[in-house]
């Protein structure tokens, strides 16, 4: 059985951008996000900075409640609260204080996390990537690590660092389709084993639609944000690069038969591209 990991995250923008730790999603072929309202959605990894232990995910929904990140200076002794998913116990809240600032923590022999917040707030496996918040509910840090066998020693990445990483990932690691012939943008995404068995799918991945332009070819065919493209005119679409190649190859072919997943079920529509 494939190994599964647990972590937490912070909703950064209402159109589905989520902040978490890089180590939470490292090596994952499929990522699934459970929202506060109970919905469980596939997520694509926009980018990651392992050196800062931060990653940016995106789910194909809009109108999400957004956390407020604070860049206000912290003080030692300030009250803070950690919210997360320790050992799979959803939305667990623990409290403590800022124990110290500007701590460093080794990652490897040659790398270390720097400028960390140290806290005595109880933090456990599964809290990683979740918010550390102040008494106003503002996110002051992203929970990242504990020292094994130590009590009352937890660490979080400051929100100021998170802002910098988000800006760099957005600029340097853009993964999306230009709207082009279909009028969509999307991300690579894995397909969970249960859905593959139920729908008798051979392929393990597809393209999650993050945006469907109003009036575009995809929208006119009733494709929606959150759909997962599987194939076009019998050509498998396992990632964004494959989709680009298929679109280019089929440009002169007229209407395309597009297979996709919606709510875990296979569907198909005919799309007439804008050439």
Name the residues annotated as catalytic: 23, 53, 128
Helices (H), ranges, the chain: 22-25, 159-172, 193-199, 217-220, 240-250
Helix (H) or strand (E) holding 189: strand 184-190
20-54 as b/e: b if 16+ CB within 10 A? bbbbbbeebebbebebeeeeeebbbbbbbbeebbb
Helix ranges, 76-172 (H): 159-172
d(CA 159, CA 138): 10
Residue 104, SS3? strand
Pair 101, 120: CB distance under 8 Å: no
């Amino acid at each position: 059985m494939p190994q599964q990991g647990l972590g937490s995250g912070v909703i950064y923008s209402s159109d589905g951008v989520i902040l978490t730790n890089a180590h939470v999603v490292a090596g994952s072929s499929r990522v699934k996000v459970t929202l506060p309202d109970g919905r469980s959605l596939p997520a694509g990894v926009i980018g990651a900075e392992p050196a800062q232990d931060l990653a940016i995910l995106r789910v194909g929904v809009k109108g999400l409640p957004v956390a407020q990140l604070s860049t206000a200076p912290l003080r030692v002794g300030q009250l803070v609260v950690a919210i997360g998913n320790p050992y799979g116990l959803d939305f667990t809240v623990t409290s403590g204080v800022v124990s110290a600032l500007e701590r460093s923590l080794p990652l490897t022999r040659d790398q270390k996390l720097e400028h960390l917040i140290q806290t005595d707030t109880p933090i456990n496996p599964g809290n990683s990537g979740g918010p550390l918040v102040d008494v106003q509910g503002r996110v002051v840090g992203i929970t990242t690590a504990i020292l094994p066998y130590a009590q009352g020693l937890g660490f979080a990445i400051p929100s100021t660092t998170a802002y910098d990483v988000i800006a760099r990932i957005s600029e340097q690691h853009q993964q999306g389709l230009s709207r082009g012939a279909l009028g969509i943008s999307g991300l690579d995404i894995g397909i969970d084993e249960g859905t593959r068995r139920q729908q008798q799918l051979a392929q393990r991945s597809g393209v999650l639609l993050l945006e469907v332009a109003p009036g575009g070819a995809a929208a006119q065919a009733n494709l929606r944000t959150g759909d997962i493209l599987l194939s076009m005119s019998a050509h498998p679409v396992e990632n964004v690069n494959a989709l680009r190649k298929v679109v280019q190859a089929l440009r002169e072919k007229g209407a395309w038969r597009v297979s996709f997943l919606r709510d875990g079920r296979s569907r198909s529509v005919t799309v007439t591209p804008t050439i």
